[in-house]
Amino acid sequence: MTRITLRELLDHAGEHGYGLPAFNVNNMEQIIAILRAARAVESPAILQVSRGARSYAGDAMVRALMGAAEEMFPDVPLCVHQDHGNSFDTCRSAIDQDYTSVMMDGSLREDATTPTTYDENLAVTLQVVEYAHARGVSVEGELGVLGRLDTGRGEQEDGHGATGTLDRSQLLTDPDQAVDFVERTQVDALAIAMGTSHGAYKFSERPDSSVLDMDVVKQINQRLPDLHLVMHGSSSVPQELQDVFNQYGGDLPQTYGVPVEEIQEGIRHGVRKVNIDTDTRLAMTGAMRRLAQTDRKEFDPRKWMAPAMEALTTLCRSRYEQFGSAGMAPRLSPRPLAEMAARYASGELAHRPAD
Ligand code: G3H
Ligand code: 13P
Ligand code: ZN
């Protein structure tokens, strides 16, 4: 059994000063490619499943794939995480299907587009924490709304993310509120708003401190040194992946993501989970585009998938190495969920702010 909770992974990462990429998955090829990378560099892995992924593949298929992944990669401690849960029911159904971690994104209402009030966020997050911790499962909360600081626009794309224009106070997590939120909800990890946004179009030039606010991370880390921070929207959108995509018939306007060095700076200040989806999509579809143009007779989908998986494995390997999780897998021994539940009940895992 290799399944591990997010809390155990991030506590280990906090103790040893590294970060973990959390990759979104939707299908067999992504799961295998990511876990090949994890196995090659001896990193634990977080595979996260969005609501979109659950409806694309179907819950039964996701469950079967994760079971197969454990069997194929017994040496990779694996956290199966619900990404951007929009309601108690979404999180409960993930927990009931053996996910070891859920995100309750209470920054938005159930429609996943309207920002909540602070009290609404608190109430739904608390409800999820109570259900999850009683079962030993970890919870990630979110405070602040993701969106671009330069335009003030929410990041509505593909039916999720805030709509309309938001003010700076909504787009940046308030450190005082973060302390209160964590004390009251006892989430295991907190996703923060600091100028990152989902998708490929994050910044129109390489980001500086006016559009990517690392001070938010530093201030929260000072107040809550043991809290595990999560950076969403943290694809780097590497130039080489954009170039491959465009060289083989793609039409992606020039864009900029979150530089790896900025993520590494975050990791030095309490960031422990780094969410990446866009880069994995680009790596795969770029490789497929290349195959489509260089071997125009090929119609076996496996021949398209093999280089796509290779490109994804290469990307993931780099992130495991760059964030410092490579080599950590053998140092982890997953605890049974019942033991985690007992640790929550005893107060051993409670977060308390620094004096
Ligand atoms: O949070 C955003 C992730 O990139 C998941 O995207 O909802 O299209 O699966 P998705
Ligand atoms: P990217 O779109 O930057 O890859 O972010 C993914 C993410 O935050 C998933 O929750
Ligand atoms: Zn996200």
User: What per-residue confidence (pLDDT) applies to 50?
Assistant: 98
Report the mean per-residue pLDDT for the chain. Answer: 95
Of ligand 2's listed atoms, the one at least distance from the Cα of 235 is 3
Across 315-323, average pLDDT: 98
User: What per-residue confidence (pLDDT) applies to 224?
Assistant: 95
User: What per-residue confidence (pLDDT) applies to 151?
Assistant: 85
Across 278-294, average pLDDT: 98
- Centroid of ligand 2 to alpha carbon of 83 (angstroms): 10
Residue with tokens 């708003």: 193
Across 187-205, average pLDDT: 95
Across 300-318, average pLDDT: 98
Residue 351 covered by a domain: no
Residues 37, 316: contact at Cβ < 8 Å? yes
Position 343, amino acid: R
Residue 62 covered by a domain: yes
Closest CA to 313 of 74, 37, 14: 37
Across 33-37, average pLDDT: 98
Residues 42, 330: contact at Cβ < 8 Å? yes
How would DSSP label each residue in 152-206? -BB--BTTBS--SB--HHHHB--HHHHHHHHHHH--SEEEE-BS--SSS-SBSSS
For 66, half-sphere exposure in the C-beta direction (CA atoms, 13 angstrom radius) is 30
**Quick one: tokens of 3?**
């399944």
Q: Which of 206-210, 272-276, 284-288 has the lowest mean pLDDT?
A: 206-210
Residue 46 covered by a domain: yes
- Provide the pLDDT confidence category of residue 160 given band limits of 50, 70 and 90: low
Domain range enclosing 156:
6-344
Give the count of domains, the chain.
1
Question: Which one is predicted more confidently, 113 or 26?
Answer: 26
**Quick one: tokens of 79?**
């956290």
Q: What is the pLDDT of residues 38-76, one digit of tens each?
A: 999 999 999 999 999 999 999 999 999 999 999 999 999
pLDDT at 313 over 90: yes
- Model-wide pTM > 0.95: yes
Which ligand is nearest to the Cα of residue 30, counting in written order? 1
Our answer on whether the CB atom of 198 is closer than 6 Å to any ligand 1 atom is yes
Our answer on whether the CB atom of 50 is closer than 6 Å to any ligand 1 atom is yes
Residue 354 covered by a domain: no
Q: What is the pLDDT of residues 265-281, one digit of tens each?
A: 999 999 999 999 999 99
User: What per-residue confidence (pLDDT) applies to 156?
Assistant: 63
Q: Is 310 helix (H, G, I), strand (E, B) or coil?
A: helix
Residues 26, 83: contact at Cβ < 8 Å? no
Which ligand is nearest to the Cα of residue 53, counting in written order? 1
User: What per-residue confidence (pLDDT) applies to 227?
Assistant: 96
- Centroid of ligand 2 to alpha carbon of 355 (angstroms): 34
Residue 355 covered by a domain: no
For atom 5 of ligand 2, the residue with the nearest CA is 233
pLDDT at 1 over 80: no
Write the CATH number for 111: 3.20.20.70
Q: Which residues are catalytic?
A: 83
Across 277-295, average pLDDT: 98
Residue 352 covered by a domain: no
Residue with tokens 């004390």: 183
Q: Which of 44-53, 107-116, 163-172, 221-230 has the lowest mean pLDDT?
A: 163-172
Which helix (H) or strand (E) element contains residue 272? Answer: strand 271-276
Please count the other Cβ atoms lying within 10 Å of the Cβ belonging to residue 240. 10
**Residue among 47, 82, 234, 274 whose CB has most ligand 2 atoms within 8 A, to mutate:** 234
Dist CA 222 CA 206 (whole Å): 27
Q: What value, to the nearest 5°, has the Cα angle with vertex 247 and ends 246 and 248? A: 90
Position 64, amino acid: A
Q: What value, to the nearest 5°, has the Cα angle with vertex 157 and ends 154 and 162? A: 30
- Centroid of ligand 1 to alpha carbon of 332 (angstroms): 29
Our answer on whether the CB atom of 186 is closer than 6 Å to any ligand 1 atom is no
